[in-house]
Structure 1
Amino acid sequence: MAMNLAQWGNALHSGEKTYPIVQQRKRWFLISGILMVAAIVLLLVKGLTLGIDFEGGTQFQVSNASDPDPAIATEVIENAVPDEVPEVSILGTNDVLVQIGVIEQEQSQEITAELADAYDVSADEVGFTQIGPTWGAEVGKKAVQGLIIFLILVAAVISIYFRAWRMAAAAIGALAHDLLFTVGIYALVGFEVTPATVIGFLTILGYSLYDTVVVFDKVKENTTHLTEQNRYTYEELANLAVNQTLVRSINTSVVALLPVSAILFIGSFLLGAGTLKDISLALFVGMAVGTYSSIFVATPLEVSLRMREPRIKEHTAMVLKLRETGDVDVAHKADGSVVVGALTPGRHLGTQAQPRRKKK
C-alpha cells in the first residue's frame, strides 16, 4: 500500500526513511553553481532595469481617469517627447502611472495639461514628481548599505546563537545564492527594480534565513552528543536533520507561495495592477529558491565546512572503521545511504553504540 503524506512525514522524522541529500551535496552544488553563473551572465549582458527612484526621472499620475487606457498616455508622451519611451501602468481601477526620463520643467507642465485633456480630468488630478539622478544614486547607495548591514547582523546573530561560525558562513552563502538568483530573474524578464523590489529582496532573505535556522537548529540538536556515540557520523546526523524538517519546509513554502502567487499572477498580470509586480516577483522567486537553498545548499555547505574540523574528521574515521571491522551494526539502504533511527525511543545519541557480539 502506498504511503500517505502523514506516514511519509512520520517516517522522515523518525529516521525510518531518509534521502541522501547531504551525501549528494556535490550534485546540488553543481546545480546551484550553474544557476549562479547564468545569473551573473544575465546581469553582465542584460543588466537590471532600474526605476526612476534609482536612476532619476519624471513621473505623472492621472487620478480618476474615465478611460484608463495606457495607449492614451503613450501617445501623449510620444508626441510631446519623441525621444522618450514611457512606462505606463494602471493603479487600482482608474489611475494611470506614467514614468519617463528627466525632462525640462516647461515640458512637464505641457505634458501635465495634455494628459489631463486626454483623460478628460482636471489638471489638479494629474500629479507630477521629478527625481534627479543624484538623489536616485543616493537611494541605490542606501539600499546596498542596508543589505550589507543586514548580512553582517545575520552572521553575528547566527554565530552567537549556534556558537559556530561555519553555520553563519553557510547561512550567508545560502542567502547570497537566493539573492543572486532572484536578481538574475529580474535581469532575465526585465522587470523594473524599485524600492518595493528592494523591500521584497530583504523580505525573502528573512524568509530564507528563518527556514535555514530551523534546519540548523535540528542539526545542532542531533549532533550535540556526536562524540559520545560511534554509530553515526556528523554527515549522517545532519542529513537526518534535513529529512526531519523536509515536510515542514515544503508545507511552509506552499502556504506562503499561495497568496504571493495570487498577487503576482492574478493581481499583476490578469488585473493589470502593475505596481504589485515589483514586490510580488521578488517574493515568489525568492521564497521558492529560499526553500531550495535551505534544504540543498545551507546544510550541505555547513557539513562541507564542518568535515574539515580535526574532531569531526577523527570521529568520522572511527565510525567508518568500526563499520568496516563489523563491530557496529548499521542498516543501509539500496542507494548506499544509512538508515538513521537514532532519535527513535530507546536509541539516544547520548549513549555509546554497543559493539556487535561475535558468534562463538
Structure 2
Amino acid sequence: MAKAPADPDFDLKSQRPSAGEVRRFATGEALFLAPLPLPTGHAPMDLGGSFLEVNDTYLDVGQSNFNKAFQAQLMIWGVMFILIVCLIVLPLVEMSMFFGDPHERSFMTHFMSMLEGLRFYSLIALLGGGFFSVLGATAVIRTTLQKARARPMRFNRQRREVCYFPSGSDEPIIQPWEELVAWVSISTGTTGEGIISTYTLGMALDNPKTDKTHFLNQGVLTPAHGLSKWEAIRVYMEKGPAFCPGKAPHEGRHTFDEERESMREAYREGDCSAIGVAWWYLRNIVTWWRFPYWVAEWDHRYSMKVMPASIEQWSQPVPPAQWAKPSSALLVQTVQIEKAFAKGQSFMDYFNSTLGEPASMQGERS
C-alpha cells in the first residue's frame, strides 16, 4: 500500500521565508519564490488551463471544465456497452444458434427460448445500465459541485493585491501581492516496492481576522513546471496581460464543432483515413453526439460563482495615477537577478539552491 507524500504545511508566522530560501519538512523540501516575488527566468506557461479570466485589471486562477466532456463520455460508454452487449450482441448469438442447433428443435421452441433469453438480457441491461448511469452521473455532478464551492483566486495588478475565498466561504481574504507566500516543493514517499516523488506549486495567505494561514497546493509534473506556472502569474502582476498566457478556453458545444471541423480538415489533407472518419462519427454517435459537451457547458455555467458586490467593486479599474507601485526592495532585487540571468545563471544557480539534488551533489555544490 502506497504511503502518499504529505503537502508541506509550514510555520510562516514565527519566521517569514524569502525568495530563494529552501526549507525542509517531514517528507521533502521546498524552494520559496515569494514573498517579494522575483523573476524566475522560466517561460510563463498556464499549464492545465487555469487562467479563467485575464484582463488589464485582474487575473482569475482556478479550475476550468477541461476534460468534463470526456468524463461524461466515459459514463455513457459504460451504459452503452451494457446495452449493446445485452440487447444486440447476446440476442444475435442466440439467433445464430438456431441455424446450428444439433438437437434440431422446432422454430417455435427456439423462438420461445430466444424470447425468454431476451427478457433476461433486458433485465440485465436495465440493472447494469441503471447502475452505470447512477455511478457516472454521481461522479459528474459531484466534481462539478466540488468545483462550484471554490471561487477562483483573483490577482488585481492595479491594486497589487490578491483575493482568495476559503472553500465554501463567502468571506474574502485580501492580501498585498508582495506578501503572498509561494513555493515549489518535492515530496518523497514509498509504495512498498519503490520510492515516489511528487511536485507541488504552493501558495499561502494569512487571514488577519482569524489569525489562520490558508494553504493552496497544486500538483505539477516537475519543479520547472511549477516555476513556469508561477512565472505566468508573476509576469502578469508585474508587466500586464500582454506578457502572460491568455484566458484558457472552456469546453462546450463549440468544442464539438471545432473537433469535427478539425477531423474534416485532416481528412481533406490526407492526414486522416476514411476509417478514422467513420470511427469519429461512430464513437460520437454511441456517446450521444453533443450531449457530453452540453454537460461541459452546464459545468462551466454552474461552477462559475459570482463574486460578491464588494469584490466586484474592488475589481473595477482605477486611474493609472492611482495604481499601486512595486516596492523599492522588489525593484532593486529584480534588477540584480535579471543581471544574473543575462550572464547565464538560473534561478536556482542565483540562490545556490539544491532543491531535489542528492545529498552527495549538495556537498559538491557547497
TM-score under structure 1 length normalisation: 0.29
Larger relative helix fraction: 1
